Amino acid sequence: MAYSDKVVDHYENPRNVGSFGKDEAGVGTGLVGAPACGDVMKLQIKVSPEGIIEDAKFKTFGCGSAIASSSLVTEWVKGKTLEEAAAIKNTEIAQHLALPPVKIHCSVLAEDAIKAAISDYKAKSGGKTEAAE
Amino acid sequence: MTAVTQDKKQGIGNVRKMPIYLDYQATTPCDPRVVEAMLPWFTEKFGNPHSRNHAYGWESEEAVEKARAQVAAIIGADPKEVIFTSGATESNNLALKGVAHFYKDKKDHIITCVTEHKCVLDSARHLEQEGFKVTYLPVKQNGLIDLDQLRDAITDKTALVSIMAVNNEIGVIQPLAEIGAICREKGVFFHTDAAQAVGKIPLDVNEMKIDLLSVSGHKFYGPKGIGALYVRRRPRVRLQALINGGGQERGMRSGTLATPLCVGLGEACAIAQAEMGAETERLRMLRDRLYKGIMDQLPEVYLNGDFDQRIPGNLNLSFAYVEGEGLMMGIKDLAVSSGSACTSASLEPSYVLRALGVDIEMAHTSLRLGLGRFSTEEDVDQAVEHIVTSVKRLREMSPLWEMAQEGVDIKSIEWAEH
Same domain, B117 and B242: yes
Q: How many CB pairs under 8 A join A and B?
A: 88
List residues in chain A touching B: CB distance below 8 A. Answer: 1, 3, 8, 11, 14, 17, 19, 31-42, 59-64, 66-67, 102, 105, 108-109
Query: Is the pLDDT at A130 greater than 50, yes or no?
Result: no
Q: Is the CB of residue B262 less than 8 Å from the CB of residue B67?
A: yes
Same domain, B226 and B305: no
Same domain, B228 and B282: no
Q: Is B234 on the interface with A (CB under 8 A)?
A: no
Q: Is B19 on the interface with A (CB under 8 A)?
A: no
- C-alpha radius of gyration, chain B, whole number: 23
For residues B48, B53, B55, B56, the Cα torsion angle rounded to the nearest 10 degrees is -20
* Strand ranges for A1-132 from DSSP E: 27-34, 39-47, 53-61
**Long-range contacts (CB closer than 8 Å, 24 or more residues apart) made by A3-8:** A3/A64, A3/A65, A3/B329, A4/A97, A4/A98, A4/A99, A6/A68, A6/A72, A6/A96, A6/A97, A6/A98, A7/A64, A7/A65, A7/A68, A7/A97, A7/A98, A7/A99, A8/A64, A8/B329
For position B412, what pLDDT does the model report?
A: 83
State the total domains in chain B. 2
Domains parsed from chain A with CATH numbers: 5-125 (3.90.1010.10)
CATH code of the domain covering residue B318:
3.90.1150.10
- Indicate the helix (H) or strand (E) that contains A67: helix A64-77
Distance between CA atoms of residues A5 and B39, nearest Å: 42
Is residue B171 situated within a structural domain?
yes
Give the distance from residue A95's alpha carbon to the nearest chain B alpha carbon, in angstroms: 20
Query: Is the pLDDT at A2 greater than 80, yes or no?
Result: no
Q: Name B286's Cβ contacts closer than 8 Å, sequence gap at least 6.
A: B371, B375, B376, B377, B380
Residue B113: active-site member: no
Same domain, B244 and B281: no
Same domain, B170 and B289: no
Same domain, B177 and B98: yes
Same domain, B181 and B329: no
What is the predicted ipTM?
0.91
Q: Which residues of chain B have pLDDT under 50?
A: 1, 3, 11, 343
- pLDDT tens, residue by residue, A32-88: 999 988 899 999 999 999 999 999 999 999 999 999 999 999 999 999 999 999 999
Is residue B239 situated within a structural domain?
yes
Q: B394: nearest CA in chain A?
A: A61
Nearest CB to A63: which of B323, B360, B361?
Answer: B323
Last residue within a domain, chosen from B226, B245, B271? B271
Is residue B240 situated within a structural domain?
yes
* Mean pLDDT, chain A, integer: 92
Interface of B with A in 333-392 (CB under 8 A): 340-343, 345, 347, 349, 360-361, 364
For position A131, what pLDDT does the model report?
A: 42
In chain B, residues with a C-beta closer than 8 Å to the C-beta of A108 are 418
Containing domain of residue B19, as a range? 3-28+276-405
Is residue B283 situated within a structural domain?
yes
Same domain, B266 and B280: no
Is residue B385 situated within a structural domain?
yes
Is residue B107 situated within a structural domain?
yes
CATH code of the domain covering residue B51:
3.40.640.10
Give the distance from residue A51's alpha carbon to the nearest chain B alpha carbon, in angstroms: 26
Q: Do B326 and A42 touch (CB under 8 A)?
A: no
Last residue within a domain, chosen from B271, B294, B321? B271
In chain B, residues with a C-beta closer than 8 Å to the C-beta of A102 are 345
For position A37, what pLDDT does the model report?
A: 85
Same domain, B10 and B57: no
Q: Do A31 and B399 touch (CB under 8 A)?
A: yes
Same domain, B59 and B205: yes
Q: A12: nearest CA in chain B?
A: B330
Active site residue ranges of A = 37, 106
For position A120, what pLDDT does the model report?
A: 95
Same domain, B153 and B281: no
- pLDDT tens, residue by residue, B47-62: 999 999 999 999 999 9
For residues A62, A63, A67, A72, the Cα torsion angle rounded to the nearest 10 degrees is -130
Q: Is B415 on the interface with A (CB under 8 A)?
A: yes
Nearest to B347 by CA among A104, A73, A4, A97: A104
Nearest CB to B326: which of A59, A67, A105?
Answer: A67
Last residue within a domain, chosen from B271, B304, B336? B271
- pLDDT tens, residue by residue, A82-102: 999 999 999 999 999 999 998
In chain A, residues with a C-beta closer than 8 Å to the C-beta of B349 are 38
Same domain, B260 and B284: no
pLDDT band at A133 (very low <50, low <70, confident <90, very high): very low
Q: Do B364 and A34 touch (CB under 8 A)?
A: no
